[in-house]
């Protein structure tokens, strides 16, 4: 319990007010750093982080200042900001209120990105001639994205609303360490296995740092090398990522990517019906026009039945042929629609899941058989190696009548050099050992030489 003479405690508001009172009197300061996480508010205000290699500070640029800026700030730009520090009392948030911005150049990361873009452009990675057209009505769509983000839910909803197509979700990491490798591997897996007719790869919006994986060379080359039509579906509007240049089609948002990749099946049916109606109306109009012309010609010819009879017959024949052609076209369109409907039913995910389960069971059986064969082959190799080791073992020689002579301290003797009379030795035989004493040492002449 504080002593009676202690000062009463401050409220949080009083504390924040005192801190702000220390910051506000500071003079206008010029601070250099790199812009990151830029955000343009609908109110006209501008917000971003100003950072160096160790720290960052929140920056506010009010609308009145934004209107007078001589440069357009963007992520990665090195700038010198003039302003005053401030503290938002209610939230206790420290920030830097900027009144002027001068461009100091691009950050190292941004310069590296520009160099990579130039190098890939020179190699033809972004060449429009290598881009693939998107399929008109895909049977299977692969979503290479985070399994937990809002983007995958948006794309799934749009695809399911537009047509009955099979959707495969390949979960990858889209942000942070290892994200570039994960994205590239997801694209390469779908492409190599031929699982899909079109790939939508992306994520929701975020700061430049959040989206940076889609600027990595590993990801850009995976987009460019993909043999399956691929759409860049990253949720950003203002800047373009390198993956956008490499993709076959760039969508401003994941939702737009799903809308572009999958047409509305009901709209297709209505369009075909409208075309059929328009063709029938045009045909009737043309027939009416032809009849009027024939009537006018007959009137001009007078009694020219002998002349016009054959032409009328020819006209009737052409009319009949035209009607039959329209009917055949209508029947062909009907059969095509029925075939498309059957294809959509055949792509039912439940039926596909059952097929995949049967394939998985077959693969599991083959894996079990392969494991048993491998284990037996390795047991046989181990048995052969054991037999070889036993044949090379010194104890195998003992069984043939040889012995191993060791000194008292266990050293194996290979020569009489260093052995003296009365030394104690052990002789190891196949079924035991002998302890002996040396009576004399005799050197063989060859060994002595």
Determine, yes or no, domain membership for 126. Answer: yes
| Residue listed under structure tokens 């934004």 | 66
85 and 60 in one domain? yes
The predicted structure's pLDDT at residue 5: 60
175 and 133 in one domain? yes
The Cα 36–Cα 48 span in angstroms is 6
Determine, yes or no, domain membership for 321. Answer: yes
The answer to whether the beta carbons of residues 230 and 256 sit under 8 Å apart is no
249-250/404-407 β-pairing: unpaired
The answer to whether the beta carbons of residues 441 and 405 sit under 8 Å apart is no
The answer to whether the beta carbons of residues 99 and 68 sit under 8 Å apart is no
The answer to whether the beta carbons of residues 183 and 230 sit under 8 Å apart is no
68 and 201 in one domain? no
Determine, yes or no, domain membership for 75. Answer: yes
Residue 160, classed as helix, strand or coil, is helix
Give burial (CB, 10 Å; 0-12/13-18/19+) of 449: exposed
Q: How many CB atoms lie within 10 A of CB 403?
A: 14
257 and 119 in one domain? yes
CATH of the domain at 99: 2.40.50.140
Which residue, of 303, 329, 346, is where some domain finishes?
Answer: 346
117 and 74 in one domain? no
CATH of the domain at 198: 3.40.50.261
Task: Identify which of 237, 150, 234, 159 has the alpha carbon closest to the alpha carbon of residue 198.
Answer: 159
The predicted structure's pLDDT at residue 265: 63
- Mean pLDDT, consecutive 10-residue stretches, the chain (449 aa), reads 70 89 89 91 93 92 90 87 92 92 72 88 93 91 91 89 88 92 95 93 83 93 96 77 93 89 71 73 84 80 62 80 88 87 74 82 89 90 84 72 82 81 84 84 66
Task: Identify which of 26, 171, 162, 178 has the alpha carbon closest to the alpha carbon of residue 96.
Answer: 26
The answer to whether the beta carbons of residues 82 and 28 sit under 8 Å apart is yes
The answer to whether the beta carbons of residues 141 and 163 sit under 8 Å apart is no
The Cα 63–Cα 86 span in angstroms is 17
Determine, yes or no, domain membership for 308. Answer: yes
Determine, yes or no, domain membership for 395. Answer: no
pTM: 0.46
253 and 121 in one domain? yes
Return the bridge partners of 199, or none.
142, 230
Handedness of CA 215, 239, 152, 340 (dihedral sign): negative
283 and 147 in one domain? no
85 and 43 in one domain? yes
Which residue, of 45, 71, 106, is where some domain finishes?
Answer: 106
The Cα 244–Cα 220 span in angstroms is 9
Determine, yes or no, domain membership for 22. Answer: yes
Determine, yes or no, domain membership for 399. Answer: no
Which residue, of 85, 106, 127, is where some domain finishes?
Answer: 106
Determine, yes or no, domain membership for 367. Answer: no
Residue 354, classed as helix, strand or coil, is helix
249 and 151 in one domain? yes
**How many domains are there within the chain?**
4
65 and 117 in one domain? no
User: Which range marks the domain in which residue 308 is found?
Assistant: 265-346
The Cα 170–Cα 157 span in angstroms is 16
434 and 342 in one domain? no
255 and 128 in one domain? yes
């Amino acid at each position: 319990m504080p002593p009676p003479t202690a000062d009463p405690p401050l409220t949080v508001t009083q504390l924040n007010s005192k801190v702000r009172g220390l910051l506000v009197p500071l003079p206008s300061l010029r601070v250099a750093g790199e812009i990151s996480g830029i955000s343009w508010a609908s109110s006209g205000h501008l917000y971003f982080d100003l950072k160096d290699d160790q720290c960052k500070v929140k920056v506010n640029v009010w609308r009145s200042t934004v209107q007078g800026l001589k440069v357009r700030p963007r992520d990665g730009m090195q700038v010198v900001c003039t302003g005053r520090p401030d503290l938002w009392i209610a939230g206790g948030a420290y920030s830097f209120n900027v009144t002027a911005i001068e461009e100091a150049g691009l950050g190292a990361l941004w310069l590296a990105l520009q160099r990579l873009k130039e190098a890939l452009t020179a190699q033809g990675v972004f060449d429009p001639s290598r881009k693939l057209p998107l399929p008109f009505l895909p049977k299977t769509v692969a979503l290479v994205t985070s399994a937990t983000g809002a983007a995958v839910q948006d794309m799934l909803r749009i695809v399911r609303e537009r047509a009955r197509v099979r959707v495969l979700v390949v979960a990858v990491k889209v942000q942070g360490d290892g994200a570039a490798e994960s994205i590239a591997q997801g694209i390469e897996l779908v492409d190599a296995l031929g699982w899909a007719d079109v790939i939508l790869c992306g994520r929701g919006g975020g700061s430049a740092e959040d989206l940076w994986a889609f600027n990595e060379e590993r990801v850009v080359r995976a987009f460019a090398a993909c043999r399956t039509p691929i759409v860049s579906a990253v949720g950003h509007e203002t800047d373009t990522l390198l993956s956008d240049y490499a993709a076959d089609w760039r969508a401003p948002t994941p939702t737009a990517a799903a809308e572009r990749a999958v047409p509305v099946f009901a709209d297709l049916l209505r369009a075909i019906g409208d075309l059929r109606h328009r063709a029938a109306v045009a045909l009737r109009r043309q027939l009416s026009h032809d009849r009027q012309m024939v009537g006018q010609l007959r009137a001009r010819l007078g009694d020219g039945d002998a002349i016009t009879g054959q032409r009328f017959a020819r006209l009737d024949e052409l009319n009949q042929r035209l009607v039959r052609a329209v009917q055949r076209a209508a029947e062909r369109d009907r059969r095509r629609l029925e075939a498309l409907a059957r294809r959509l039913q055949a792509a039912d995910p439940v039926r596909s899941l059952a097929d995949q389960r049967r394939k998985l069971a077959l693969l599991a059986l083959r894996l079990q058989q392969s494991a048993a064969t491998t284990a037996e082959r390795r047991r046989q190799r181990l048995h052969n190696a054991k037999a070889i080791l036993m044949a090379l073992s010194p104890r195998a020689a003992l069984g043939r009548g040889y012995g191993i002579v060791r000194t008292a301290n266990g050293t194996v003797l290979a020569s009489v050099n260093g052995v003296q009379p009365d030394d104690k030795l052990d002789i190891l035989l196949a079924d035991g050992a002998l302890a002996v004493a040396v009576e004399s040492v005799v050197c063989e002449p060859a060994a002595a030489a």
